[in-house]
Structure 1
């Protein structure tokens, strides 16, 4: 295993410091071992009714099985251990049917996957927390909770960060070895993570790689979150070292994101969000990204857990980069626009059904005809 020289001291000092916090001799409770098992299955049936590359349908699914446990020690140190496995069928929809780049389904991987997913240790004492292992950064970084309703992947991690690097950041479906520090106070949180600049194996999707060579480089994200009664503000800065910047040039690859989320008192259950992202135009296909939306929980009085939402996401094409289009030699547009209307119905404690409508203008920032998509998401959580 080769580590980039620039991050070796950071890794080893942080790991040693974290483990010195743990008093492995005395636990607060002898019956501390109480593992938790969680299973999630999610499927998207999507059909492109018109426009895009062609009309057609796809069934995209994934499943995760995780095992976690938390240990409490007498001096207030908590140790959480988590491991999970991932299955994804690898069906293609955006790539072969719609032609968009933001991703009509956040579950689409494009490759069949059966392997270990997350595997990490998280040590917490007071306001401080240190995590090391294979970690999905989008579970903590660049998260807009209300935007999680939507099916399109643009409403998860922002497009500029999500499409950066040679294989994206350490998030679904490819994770890299990561080290995360977090400080949580009453109204604000600071967190930072350093992770493999090229997570996963580009030639073997089912391989869990520990190859942190200097050729891969690293990605660092720093984020500050501020919370008020009904509002949450978040700003983040990310940076690849010179070898992690898409493998194109020695120049650094950096980006910035900012978003806000507010619960409105005047309308019960209504939450709004908006975001702005920017990134280096020399090394990223999209250098600007905007999204906003509204989500209403309890749209019907008799169904207090159901949600309905509408949102848009626009990824602006960098003036110095062009999207590779294997299907057509078409003129370029200024960017790709997605609009989604979605309704999530909680059937019972473990089953959710979610019909959705999407309209995608200028897929891949080309003059391909706008795509009209209908979909149904099924989610089982046990």
Structure 2
């Protein structure tokens, strides 16, 4: 989650998940890279006999290791973001990630029943468009404050049939909590996890791009219900990040979610930090301490269901927090996902989403102290179309509109486009 501050003095004593910096030198360096990358990838993959046969580069290796209980997935994601009107009008930004995921079935490999291991190595890089464009909720969900390789996830899971499982290690919180599958094609970070939770913590919660040590218990009382409970280190800091590992030294973030999945999804969740956050007054009053907390709800509903034709799924997500310890007091997102959106293209998808994040009184008081006029919320609209081109290539294109981004009245409306290329190996 990328949050940009308009002043050098932070409102709260923790930093956002990603601070955003972009320089003219970096802009020039990456200006031609997206077009070159896309062209080279498409020509290479389309000309490759393996691609024509529906094979990926690592399929030969998979044939050797999968019978031994090992699976591997890898991909490269490159994205070109352009601002067509607004604070960064005429500017384009390139950013990317690379992912390597290795899973080990320890029951097949060593005979440990119901046990598996998981490791996700992540590389982040490129430019940071959010600060230049001015959106507080961000622009793209692969944006990071730094360029580096890190161990994003490393965990061990013990399953007890279909009724329960427990996972321990460095875990992505958003994999188990506050997630709706139908919203994941949208690239704005607000559609992945609520902004009021995403911006909490000293270094953000345990989500992209850094995780924290955690323990997650999942229960399935019936085939159409679930209960999940998680305890995460309050300071997200993975192997490969510059700071020493913190473990649980800065307290914990406790989160729980219950849901019904009989027809779509209805879920309720709540979270709370164990350690208090000190909030400084802009009016010379005494500092106060609070435990950050929040609640959220998720709904997914299939309006049209088809295994071969067009399907339409709707989603609604809403969250509310204490409103004192961060910039956001709540958020709401809603939208639709259309699967097989293009006739004859079984992997094509179209989606649109609306987002709105509400600013806390603390944020507005701080803005007034700086003689600025804050809004009550930041909002936006996103449209995106995606399709899989062969076995190894996925291409996405989208448009975002953000009126008065940044939470301050008079900010110039932003119209943003993005093109994302994913190469699977």
State the alpha-carbon separation in 1 of the partners of residues 277 and 114 from structure 2: 34
Q: CA RMSD in A?
A: 2.5
Matched ranges for 1:126-275 at <5 A: 126=161, 127-184=163-220, 185-200=222-237, 206-207=241-242, 209-212=244-247, 214=249, 216-229=250-263, 231-243=264-276, 249-265=288-304, 268-275=310-317
Counterpart Cα distance in 2 of 1:232 and 1:372: 32
CA contact (8 A) 2:83 2:92 kept: yes
Aligned mates of 1:194, 1:333 — CA distance in 2 = 35
Task: Kindly tell me the number of residue pairs found equivalent between the two proteins.
Answer: 345
Shift of 1:44: 1.3
1:298 maps to which of 309, 325, 340: 340
C-alpha displacement of 1:84: 2.3
- 1:62 pairs with 2:93: no
Normalising to structure 2: TM-score of the pair? 0.76
Shift of 1:139: 1.3
* Structure 1 counterpart SS, 2:196: helix
Rounded to whole Å, the distance in 2 between the matches of 1:352 and 1:338 is 25
- Between 1:129-138 and 1:248-257, the stretch displaced more is 248-257
Which string of whole-angstrom CA distances, capped at 9 and with x for unpartnered residues, describes residues 78-126 of structure 1? 111011211111421002x211111110000021121222111011112
The corresponding residue for 1:99 is 134
TM-score by length of 1: 0.84
Counterparts in 2 of 1:104-123, with a 5 A limit? 104-123=139-158
More helix by share: 2
CA separation in 1, counterparts of 2:384 and 2:102? 31
- Residue 380 in 1 paired to residue 414 in 2? no
CA contact (8 A) 1:164 1:246 kept: no
Matches of 1:207 and 1:246 in 2, distance apart? 27
Residues 230 and 256, structure 2, Cα contact 8 Å, conserved in 1: yes
Gap runs ≥5 in structure 1: 1-30
| Runs of 4+ off more than 6 Å | 73-76, 244-248
Shift, 1:380, TM fit: 1.7
Q: Against the structure 1 CA distance between its residues 104 and 329, is the aligned structure 2 distance closer, same or farther, given a 3 Å change threshold?
A: farther
Structure 2, unaligned runs of 5 or more: 1-65, 281-286
The answer to whether structure 1 residue 42 and structure 2 residue 77 are counterparts is yes
Distance in structure 2 (CA, Å) of the matches to 1:212 and 1:115: 16
Q: Which residue of 1 aligns with 2:106?
A: 71
* 2:362 counterpart SS class: coil
